[in-house]
Amino acid sequence: MTKTELLAELSVINAARVNRLRVANLVLESNENFEPLLEIVFDVNNKTSIKAAWILEFVCKEKMLWLSKHLVYFTKNISKVHYGSAVRPIAKVLEMLITEHYKNNTLNKIGTENIKRIIETTLDWMISKHKIAVKVYSMQTLYYLGLKESWIHCELKEILVQNIPKESIGYQTRARKIIKLIT
């Protein structure tokens, strides 16, 4: 599937799960479809990037290995994503990536520079105006990364304690859970 063909598919879908799954399945037909998807995701001033980010989340649930081959490009661009509806699936992909690598004891395979960019971006999302899902995914990502780098837990705990009174019940619940795990 070419980038043009993928853009055409994305242009006709809405947020309905059935539509997102249909396009994700088209991408999953070949790993050659993954790079054009990433290019569209990171065309951040084009609103189609939002739809592409939705698809990326579904594709990464099935084929996280495909992302691993593009980690440098991915991590160099995640901080540029600015539409809230695109940030959420990117945060989810990061959570899935870090969780998988942590559980398999393979965080070192992500690479120091990639991890640094993930930390910077997720910390930024934690202190910026984003919806709860982005912050919850980010705090989980940072929790796992903090098991390898203790300073992350210090920063994360400070952010969580500071924001608990200002955030939603869902945020408060997850933040308390993370704080309990950290201490």
> Which residues, including other chains, have CB under 8 Å from residue 89's CB and lie 6 or more apart?
53, 54, 56, 57
C-alpha span between 96 and 82 (Å, rounded): 20
In this prediction, residue 105 carries a pLDDT of 85
Identify the band that residue 107 occupies on the pLDDT scale cut at 50, 70 and 90: confident
State yes or no: pLDDT of 108 exceeds 90.
no
Amino acid identity of 37?
L
Closest among 3, 12, 13, 9 to 26, alpha carbons compared? 9
Total Cβ atoms within 10 A of residue 4: 9
Domain residue limits, the chain:
1-69, 71-183
**Helix, strand, or coil here: 116?**
helix
Amino acid identity of 168?
S
Q: How far apart are the first and last CA of the chain?
A: 49
Residue range 28-80, pLDDT digits in tens: 999 999 999 999 999 999 999 999 999 999 999 999 999 989 999 999 999 99
Residue range 158-183, pLDDT digits in tens: 999 999 999 999 999 999 999 999 98
Q: Which two tokens stand for residue 71?
A: 């980690």
State yes or no: pLDDT of 22 exceeds 90.
yes
In this prediction, residue 106 carries a pLDDT of 83
Give the predicted TM-score (pTM) of the model.
0.95
In this prediction, residue 37 carries a pLDDT of 98
**Helix, strand, or coil here: 59?**
helix
Q: Which two tokens stand for residue 77?
A: 């661009």
In this prediction, residue 27 carries a pLDDT of 97
Residue range 116-155, pLDDT digits in tens: 999 999 999 999 999 999 999 999 999 999 999 989 999 9
In this prediction, residue 151 carries a pLDDT of 96
Alpha-carbon distances of 95 from 61, 78, 79, rounded to whole Å: 11, 13, 15
Total Cβ atoms within 10 A of residue 149: 15
